[in-house]
Amino acid sequence: MTNLGRLYSLLDDVRLPDDLPYTQVSSWELKFLYLLGRHHLTGEDRLVELGSGGGGSTYALALGLQQSPVFDEKTGRLHAYDFFRVGKGTFATEKFFDAGKAPEGDNSFLEEFRGRMEPFLPFLEIHAGDLWQTSDPGDRSPVEFLHIDIAKTPRVFKCVSERFLTRLRPGSVVLHQDFAGPRLPWLHYSTGALLPYIEIAGPPIRSTLAFEVTAPVPRDVLTAISEDSFSYERKLELISAVQERVDRDHTGGIPFRSVLELAKAYVAHYDGRHKQAWAIAKPLASDEYLARTRADHFAQLRKAYEQDRRSNGGGSALSRVKRLVRRAVRA
C-alpha cells in the first residue's frame, strides 16, 4: 500500500460538520482533505491551497490540521489563494456568497470567506487576487502540500507549474481537482511526465487524483511542463501512461480510462486538429458515463470538426493539398 493509501480505509468513518461552507468538491474529496490534515501533513513546509473558492475545501483541510497531533498552529501555515470575487474569467460562482448570489454592487466574497474560516485564522494566510499577482516568483520555499483546484486554463496552469510544482520535494503531496475534466488535458499529460518521480496514492477520489513525490523532479521535466513544450504525439503518450495507472475512481462511478481518452481528443482540439479530435472522441460517445456527463464535450468537438471540414471544403490535409495543386495548375 502507498503511504497515502492507508487514508482510504478511514474515509467511511469521517464525520464532517453539517454546516461546512458551500463547496464544489464532493463529500468524498472533503473527507480525504480532512484525513490528510488530520493524519498525514506536518506543516513543517508550506501547505498551499490554490482555488479555495468559498472555503469548503479549505475548511475540511484546516479542520484536519487543527485536530492533528503533529501540526503546530503557531508555526504551521496554510496558504489559501483565490480571486475571492466573482466576475468574468474568475471561474468563481455566486454560490460562494452567503446569500447564494452577489449583493448589489459587490463582487467580493473575501470577508465572508474570512468569517467562515474564523477558527483557523491563526494559521491561515489568505492571498486574494489573480494568482499571477498574489504568488511570489522568487519564493523557493518547499511545499509540503499542494491542492490544485485552480488550473482551469493553460494560463493559470503555467503559473501553478512555474511557481508551485517547482517547489515540491520528496514527500510532498499533490491533489489535482478536476482530474475527471477532459477539457483540462494539461493536468493529465503533466502528471504523465511526473510519473517516474511520484507515487499515485490509489484510485482517484471522485474527481481528485492524489500523489506523493518520491524523487526530486528534474529541472528539464519541470521546464517542459511549465513551457508546455511537449509535442502533440508526446502529450498523447503521456496521457496513455496515466491511463495504465488509473482506472475507476474509489467510488466506482468514474471510468478514468475513458475520461482520459476524451482528454486526448481535447489535446487534438486545442492543437487545431479537429478531424483527429473527433476521430478520438466519436467512439467514446457510447460510453455510458461520458454520454451522460459530457454530452456538451461531444457536441463541441463534433461542431469544430464539421466547421473545419466546411471551411476546408470537406477535406483532409491531403485534399487541401490537392485543391491547392489544382488551383496552381489552373493559374
| Footprint of ligand SAM (CB under 6 A) | 23-25, 51-54, 56-57, 81-83, 90-92, 130-131, 149-150, 152, 156
- Indicate the DSSP class of residue 255: B
In the complex, the smallest distance separating the C-beta of residue 76 from ligand SAM, rounded to whole angstroms, is 20
Q: How far is the CA of 239 from the CAs of 79, 133, 233, in angstroms?
A: 30, 31, 10
Q: Which residues pair with 78 in a beta bridge?
A: 47, 124
In the complex, the smallest distance separating the C-beta of residue 93 from ligand SAM, rounded to whole angstroms, is 7
In the complex, the smallest distance separating the C-beta of residue 8 from ligand SAM, rounded to whole angstroms, is 20
Q: Which is nearer to ligand SAM, 150 or 284 (CB)?
A: 150
In the complex, the smallest distance separating the C-beta of residue 169 from ligand SAM, rounded to whole angstroms, is 24
In the complex, the smallest distance separating the C-beta of residue 320 from ligand SAM, rounded to whole angstroms, is 38
In the complex, the smallest distance separating the C-beta of residue 35 from ligand SAM, rounded to whole angstroms, is 16
Q: Which is nearer to ligand SAM, 51 or 76 (CB)?
A: 51
Residue type at position 300: Q
The answer to whether the beta carbons of residues 117 and 124 sit under 8 Å apart is: yes
The answer to whether the beta carbons of residues 63 and 36 sit under 8 Å apart is: no
Q: Which is nearer to ligand SAM, 263 or 280 (CB)?
A: 263
Task: Give the 3-state secondary structure of residue 92.
Answer: coil
Q: Which is nearer to ligand SAM, 51 or 204 (CB)?
A: 51
The burial of 288, by beta-carbon neighbours within 10 Å (0-12 exposed, 13-18 middle, 19 or more buried), is given as: exposed
Q: Which is nearer to ligand SAM, 109 or 266 (CB)?
A: 109
Q: Which is nearer to ligand SAM, 151 or 260 (CB)?
A: 151
Distance of CA 235 to the CA centre of its chain: 17
Residue closest to ligand SAM when measured from CB atoms: 53
Kindly report the number of other CB atoms within 10 A of residue 103's CB atom: 12
Kind of pairing between the strands at 209-213 and 168-176 = antiparallel
Residue type at position 327: R
In the complex, the smallest distance separating the C-beta of residue 319 from ligand SAM, rounded to whole angstroms, is 41
Helix-strand-coil percent breakdown of the chain, rounded to 5? 50, 15, 35
Q: Which is nearer to ligand SAM, 174 or 236 (CB)?
A: 174
Residue type at position 2: T
- Indicate the DSSP class of residue 106: -
In the complex, the smallest distance separating the C-beta of residue 23 from ligand SAM, rounded to whole angstroms, is 4
Q: Which is nearer to ligand SAM, 51 or 264 (CB)?
A: 51
Choose among 162, 65, 49, 184: nearest CA to 123: 65
Task: Give the 3-state secondary structure of residue 236.
Answer: helix
